[in-house]
């Protein structure tokens, strides 16, 4: 099971693996990579719930180990 991460940590993992910040609307940030994966991340959260982290992992297509 992934550990709880902050929004900043998730954004760092995504940008470190070729995702680019696209936009922010309200409290959600949008990241996209060259292959077309789009990931929505809640902004300014100290801890993102585990279910949301799992959803972000699925949206991104990245290895689960990156989020541990």
pLDDT digits (tens, 9 = 90+) for 11-31: 999 999 999 999 999 999 999
pTM: 0.89
Q: Helices marked H in 1-68 — which ranges? A: 7-16, 50-60
Q: How far apart are CA 5 and CA 20, in angstroms?
A: 19
Residue 53, phi then psi, degrees to nearest 5: -60, -40
pLDDT-above-70 percentage for the chain: 97
Q: Which fold has domain 7-63?
A: Metal Transport, Frataxin; Chain A (3.30.920)
User: How confident is residue 33, by pLDDT bands cut at 50, 70 and 90?
Assistant: very high
> Which pLDDT score is estimated for 10?
95
């Amino acid at each position: 099971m992934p550990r709880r991460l902050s929004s900043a940590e998730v954004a760092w993992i995504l940008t470190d693996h070729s995702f680019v910040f696209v936009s922010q609307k309200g409290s959600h940030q949008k990241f996209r990579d060259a292959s077309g994966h789009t990931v929505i991340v809640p902004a300014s959260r100290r801890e993102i719930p585990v279910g949301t982290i799992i959803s972000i992992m699925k949206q991104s297509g990245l290895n689960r180990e990156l989020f541990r």
